[in-house]
Amino acid sequence: MKAMAELVKGIYTENPVFRLALGLCPALAVSTSVENALGMGAAATFVLVGSNIVISLLRKAIPAKVRIPCFIVVIASFVTIVELVMGAYLPELAKSLGIFIPLIVVNCIILGRAEAFASKHGLGLAVMDGIGMGIGFTFALVLIAAIRELLGNGTLFGYMVFGPQFQPMLLMILSPGAFVTIGLLMGYFNILDDKMRRKAKAAEAGGGGR
Amino acid sequence: MRERLIVSASPHVRDDVSVEKVMYGVVIALVPALAGSIYFYGMRAAFLTLLAIVACLLTEAVIQRMRGVPVTIRDGSALVTGILIAFNLPPGVPWWIPVIGSIFAIAIGKQIFGGLGNNPLNPALVGRAFLMASWPVHLTTTWLSTKGGTLSGTALHGIDAVAQATPLAVLRKASDIVADPSSTTHQLVQAREVLTDLGSADTIVNLFIGNVGGCIGETSVLLLLVGAAYLLYKHLIDWRVPGAYILTVAVLAWIFGGPSGLLTGNALFHVLSGGLILGAFYMATDMVTSPVSPKGMIIFGVGCGVLTAVIRLIGGYPEGVSYSILLMNVATPLIDRHTRPKKFGEVKKSG
């Protein structure tokens, strides 16, 4: 039951991009197409789960004073694996993601989960946390990328959605489009959250009164 | 809710100035320029302006309803934004350009920040910058020639550099040819001819009256100045921002704008062409997004002028008024902080 909660929280209530505002750099940079977003999400999820497993297993062996360098070494190893595998089997994707694959090393979601969760919890929960956060990150990336690709290029997964008359809104593919999209989505999720919380409170108060 | 109790520092001067008075004053001042552009470009100018106004008012109303705040589309601020967006577009753009630009300007440029008074940037210029980044082709190639005039303001039709461009774009092209060592002698001769013609009295008069290609509202300097005089007379704008802005552009254009060395630039051409007059009097003076202190206004105007001159003379675009005002809008809080007037009785601390 607790494991399930750790998995689900990463997707919505503690979504790394929209709720924790972590990992914004890749979310801004590689969300120009859904394909890139999926690739980035998968790569980050693999590294996240892998590093969570290793760090959770080593949490008693890592001295507290040098824990950050230790985490970075573990994370960097997994990033190297991803980089080499992607370069060998998905050269196109590796090319379009470019520098942002090695930069997963300094992705604050991964280091953040290592520091805040994996180094304090056992293997099972750490795996669930990694998977949940990974899915949440991928979900956020794909959502942003879908909006940007649709408006800025008129396509989804590279397929034309609107007719040939559609004149794409170039701004959405450029960096201002990323900032505007993330800002609006964050605002939207804040409103949703606010409403849900208020409803929960009202239900609680109503139940108590009776 | 927050307007019910107004806490402010003394002196408490009571005046009947209101948002409505300022905004409708600006609208009145813009009417001559609108009439002029309808004369020069035909009914299309009126049609595009109307579309932008309607889109602005509707967007404002819909978003204010969604936010659950009073709908204030009667205060005239969205009306001014609509007119200014249309004024910043070439007269030949497709009809949906002013509509989308207006929606973006009001929604992202203004209401997202909390509506009138809270927007850090001039909404009309946000709309223009958005359109410029999104559909650059529509915004840089859909110029129309004026009735009985020419697009570029010069009579030299046969020359490549003059084809389908506004006076500033022609100036840029001709200057580039002169500066390019690989230009042929023939090209050089033509470019020099164009540059001389751009500086001639005929071109200057055309620019002043508005008989050249350009954005809907920026074409006639004469009519814009009529409106500006009204605004200054009514004390709706301060002379410092436009004064410092235009003077800076003139001086920098005179010093650095010439094709043959320093101090040979044509200051008058630079002041009269493009959107400088429109921007300086109607957009840089926006009360929300420009500094409040007299010293700050001068700094703001000079900053706008320097940026405009830099973009026109060195940058990639032929015109830089809109971007320079936007950049100075961002700097406004900083300017305000450093030009805060001394409190009465305050003694300067000895450092």
Q: What is the pLDDT of residue B1?
A: 47
With CA atoms as reference, the chain A residue closest to B129 would be A171
Partners of residue B300 on adjacent β-strands: none
Supply B125's token pair: 């210029």
CA–CA distance, B50 with B60 (Å, rounded to integer):
15
User: Cβ contacts (< 8 Å) between B135 and chain A: which residues?
Assistant: 167, 169-170
Residue B351 has pLDDT above 60, yes or no: no
Which chain A residues are closer than 8 Å to B100 by Cβ? 169
Q: Which residue has the tokens 């139940």?
A: A207
B134 with A171: Cβ contact below 8 A = yes
Distance CA B230, CA B222 (A): 13
At residue A155, φ and ψ (nearest 5 deg) are: -130, 165
From the candidates A148, A171, A185, which should be mutated to test the interface with B, based on the most B CB atoms within 10 A? Answer: A171
Dihedral sign, CA of A51, A53, A59, A60? negative
* Closest-CA distance of chain A to residue B17, Å: 35
How many CB atoms lie under 10 A from the CB of residue B62? 16
> pLDDT digit string (tens) for B109-141?
999 998 888 999 999 999 999 999 999 888 888
Strands A155-156 and A159-160, how do they pair? antiparallel
Pairs of CB atoms within 8 A across A/B: 18
Type of residue numbered A201: K
* B212-259 confidence digits (pLDDT tens): 888 888 888 999 999 999 999 999 999 999 999 999 999 999 998 877
DSSP state of B348: P
Q: Which two tokens stand for residue A61?
A: 């062996």
Nearest to B298 by CA among B288, B308, B283, B284: B284
Residue B281 DSSP label: I
CB contact under 8 A, B135 and A176: no
Q: Look at A176 and B133 and tell me if their CB atoms are within 8 Å.
A: yes
- Closest-CA residue of chain B to A188: B112
- What's the CA gap between B195 and B172, in Å, rounded? 10
Tell me the pLDDT tens digit for each residue of B29-85: 999 999 999 998 889 999 999 999 999 999 999 999 998 999 999 999 999 999 999
Asked if B257 contacts B276 with a C-beta cutoff of 8 angstroms, the reply is no
Residues of chain B contacting residue A171, judged by C-beta atoms under 8 Å apart: 130, 133-134
Q: How far is CA B30 from CA B99, B271, B332, in A?
A: 20, 19, 25
Give how far B135 is from chain A: nearest CA, Å: 7
Which pLDDT value is given to residue A3?
Answer: 81
Phi then psi dihedrals of residue B275, to 5 deg? -100, 20
- Let me know how long chain B is: 351
Mutate which of A151, A170, A188, A198 to test chain B, going by most B C-beta atoms within 10 A?
Answer: A170
Q: Which residue of B has its CA nearest to A174?
A: B133
**Distance to chain A for B134, nearest Cα, Å:** 4
Q: Pick the closest to residue A46 from A104, A94, A121, A116 (CA basis).
A: A104
Nearest to A170 among B108, B112, B135 (CB): B135
Q: Measured between CA atoms, how close is A42 to chain B, in angstroms? A: 31
